[in-house]
Amino acid sequence: MLHHISISVKNPQHVANVMAEIMHGSVLPFSPNPGGYMMLARDKFGTGIEFYPLGSEIIPDAWQGQAGFKINEHPANYTGVHAAISVPVSVEKIEQIGAREGWRVLPCSRGAFDVVEFWIENRVMLELLTPEMVDKYLDAVNLEKLDRTVR
């Protein structure tokens, strides 16, 4: 079970508020990384996304023997990190929010299932799955079905 992920963005508070709108969540400051915010989806899993200031890097043994943060003054514009996230809103709502923010939104097929590419700040992609998309995704990643295919 994935409970939370973290993403570095240009405007952490704004991005957290946009994702809270999409996921019907709440936003809290994330004090371990100053300027960071956490969006909590208010579900039974504690699902959240931490949004850090752009350039944030997690460094081992940087804070009292634990992982800590530092800012890379020259961060890459794009990242290999992404996540597929179920959301309680429609494709139309996602498109409306993306248009308002000026962010790229692209409903597309991944073959066995569909997603909406939601490009936060036009640099970090999340694959959003509307309620209508979830069953096909779950069928595509069904381990029993995949095990039969591999044999």
> Given this model, what pLDDT does residue 151 score?
57
Specify the pLDDT at position 146: 67
Q: For residue range 43-93, list pLDDT tens digits in order.
A: 999 999 999 999 999 999 877 889 999 999 999 999 989 999 999 999 999
Let me know: does 52 contact 69? Beta carbons within 8 Å.
Answer: yes
Whether the Cβ atoms of residue 94 and residue 128 lie closer than 8 Å to each other? yes
Q: Which residue has the higher pLDDT, 148 or 40?
A: 40
Q: How confident is the model at residue 2 (pLDDT cuts 50, 70, 90)?
A: confident
Query: Is beta strand 48-53 parallel, antiparallel or unpaired with respect to 4-9?
Result: parallel
Q: What would the two tokens of residue 144 be?
A: 């029993």
Looking at residue 81, what DSSP letter applies? -
**pLDDT tens string 102-138:** 999 999 999 999 999 999 999 999 999 999 999 999 9
How far, in Å, CA of 64 to CA of 39, rounded?
A: 26
Q: Is-contact 117 106, C-beta < 8 A?
A: yes
What is this structure's pTM? 0.91
Structure tokens at 17: 């508020």
Place of tokens 């409903």: 107
The pLDDT, as a whole number, for residue 149 is 66
| 144: confidence class by pLDDT, cuts 50, 70, 90 | confident
| 4-150: CATH, from 3.40.50.2300, 2.60.40.1840, 3.10.180.10, 2.120.10.70 | 3.10.180.10
Q: Where do the structural domains in the chain lie, given as residue ranges?
A: 4-150
Average pLDDT in the 24-48 region? 96
| Torsion angle, alpha carbons of 34, 60, 5, 18, to 10 | 20
